[in-house]
């Protein structure tokens, strides 16, 4: 997808958001190479010069995307590492993060449910889902 040409158009988002939304689209479509490249770009753009995160929710979702790509490529350890990293942020919109995490959870449940690392990740998501339901 090309970058928006006219940023004054009210239906066009800024390039950083464009990459973020395109990353989601490519992940959902199973276009892993594009999703992975955009996830790295979202993380790069969201990291300040001192290493601090300017866009923690975007970066968390980018890490989930990297986890989905890793899981699809057969790398459970990397998938779980990215998934857990995404869940550790201080600033979270838990309902949104859990919604995106369900995509990684579905792949882990389908392909790695008998693996210890996969089961631990699924258990962690289940606990977070229960906790968010109690506080909602």
Average of pLDDT values for 111-134?
Answer: 90
Angle between helices 32-45 and 56-72 (to 10 degrees): 150
Q: Which of 18-32, 46-60, 71-85, 111-125 has the lowest mean pLDDT?
A: 46-60
pLDDT of amino acid 36: 98
| Number of Cα atoms under 13 Å in the Cβ half of residue 52 | 4
pLDDT of amino acid 9: 59
Average of pLDDT values for 27-42?
Answer: 97
Compare 13 and 132 and report the one with higher pLDDT.
132
pLDDT of amino acid 84: 94
Residue 11 has pLDDT above 60, yes or no: no
Please tell me the distance from the alpha carbon of residue 70 to that of residue 77, in angstroms, as a whole number. 8
Average of pLDDT values for 108-123?
Answer: 95
Average pLDDT, the chain: 88
Over residues 66-105, the pLDDT tens digits come to: 999 999 999 999 999 999 999 887 666 777 888 889 999 9
Average of pLDDT values for 114-125?
Answer: 94
Cβ contact 65:39 at 8 Å: yes
């Amino acid at each position: 997808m090309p970058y928006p040409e006219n940023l004054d158009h009210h239906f066009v988002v800024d390039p950083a958001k464009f990459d973020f939304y395109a990353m989601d689209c490519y992940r959902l479509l199973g276009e892993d190479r594009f999703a992975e490249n955009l996830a790295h770009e979202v993380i790069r753009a969201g990291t300040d010069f001192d290493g601090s995160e300017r866009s923690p929710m975007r970066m968390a979702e980018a890490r989930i995307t990297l986890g989905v790509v890793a899981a699809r490529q057969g790398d459970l350890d990397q998938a779980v590492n990215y998934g857990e990293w995404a869940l550790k942020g201080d600033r979270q919109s838990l309902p949104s993060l859990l919604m995106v995490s369900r995509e990684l959870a579905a792949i882990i449940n389908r392909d790695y449910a008998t693996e210890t690392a996969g089961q631990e990740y699924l258990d962690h998501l289940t606990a977070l889902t229960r906790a968010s339901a109690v506080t909602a």
